[in-house]
Amino acid sequence: MSALRLRFKSGGSAPIDLSDLTPATLAGRSHYEINTIPVSAQSTVGDHFDVSGEPAETLIFEGTTSLCDGIGSGLRSGTIVVEGHVGAYAARFMKSGRLDIRGNAGGFLAAGMKGGIVTLTGSAGDFVGALLPGEKFGMTGGTVHIAGAAGDRIGDRMRRGTIIVKGKTGAVAGSRMVGGTIWTETGFGTDPGTLLRRGTLIGPAVERMLPTFSDCGLHDMVFLRLISRHIAEILGPLAPKPLPPKVRRFAGDLATIGKGELLLTA
């Protein structure tokens, strides 16, 4: 596989911002030019990475740590593979392409993401697919798959797209959500869907259900088939098992407009 490889050589103690490094932004650049790209106020790529290979559709980060922020931020095309951990803001505002992280992620993974696919073999911090202060919405498209667990308030103000968490989510998943889908294969922490307006939360269990979610009964909805098939098409072998024929539907958050839903699969 033709790829540009950036091997992390220096840990340091301050976070570095790698949001300018994508296959598109590095295309056609020499190693010298890449080495001189700033990643903090005091340092450049060359201070932290050994660069090898040639710029191509695939960019590989190797040995990264939680100090490496912003990987895949604004990604519009191509693939970024991270053989290591990532810090905060990975895949922020990502539009298309694919980010595969073979490690853990810090906070705000896929915050404001608009499209593409993010996969994470480890666990993610808080505010996956959420928004930052001053922004109107969180994630508005794309698919995020987290093989481990996720932190608190994932999907905060999320509008579209899908977050799949194989492990458990933290507290208050889907807070203030206005659309999209969060699907956990293990279960939700406390109070999922706080101030949920629209959107779908799917999981086998809830640690503590808000009293403002109302039981609508056990139903076999065609939509369950659509979402199972869609996720299988997008994620292939990473996709969770298809949803069961029937799920228990809770409408909420009735403290707001109550047009969201929490679907219990077990």
Partner 1 sequence: MSTPVAKTVNGIVVDDTFAEAFGMTGTALVITADTPKWAMISATTMTGFGTSVIGCGAECGIDRLMDPSETPDGRPGVRVLLFGFSPDALLPQLKNRVGQCVLTSPGSACYNGLESSEKFALSAGPRFFGDGWQLSKKLGSRRYWRIPVMDGEFTIEDKCGMTTNAVGGGNFLLLGRDRAGLLETTEAAVEAIAKVPDVITPFPGGIVRSGSKVGSKYKGAIASTNDAFCPTLRGAVKSELGPDIIAVLEIVIDGLTSEAVANAMRAGLKAALEAGASRGLARISAGNYGGKLGPHHYHLKDYLA
Question: Footprint of partner 1 on this chain (CB under 8 A)?
Answer: 141, 160, 162, 179, 181, 198, 200, 219-223, 225-227, 229-230, 233-234, 259, 261
Location of structure tokens 């997008």: 234
Amino acid letter at 253? D
Please say which residue, 56 or 232, places its beta carbon nearer to partner 1. 232
Least gap, CB of 155 to partner 1 (angstroms): 15
Please say which residue, 136 or 229, places its beta carbon nearer to partner 1. 229
Least gap, CB of 226 to partner 1 (angstroms): 6
Contact 222, 202 (CB under 8 A): no
- What distance in Å separates the CA atoms of residue 58 and residue 79, rounded to the nearest whole number? 5
Q: Output the furthest CA–CA distance in the chain (Å, rounded).
A: 63
Location of structure tokens 């992390």: 8
Please say which residue, 28 or 233, places its beta carbon nearer to partner 1. 233
Angstrom CA distances, 199 to 127, 195, 196, 205, 254, stand at 16, 11, 7, 18, 13
Least gap, CB of 245 to partner 1 (angstroms): 11
Least gap, CB of 5 to partner 1 (angstroms): 31
Please say which residue, 40 or 228, places its beta carbon nearer to partner 1. 228
Q: Say how far residue 97 (Cα) sits from the centre of its chain.
A: 13
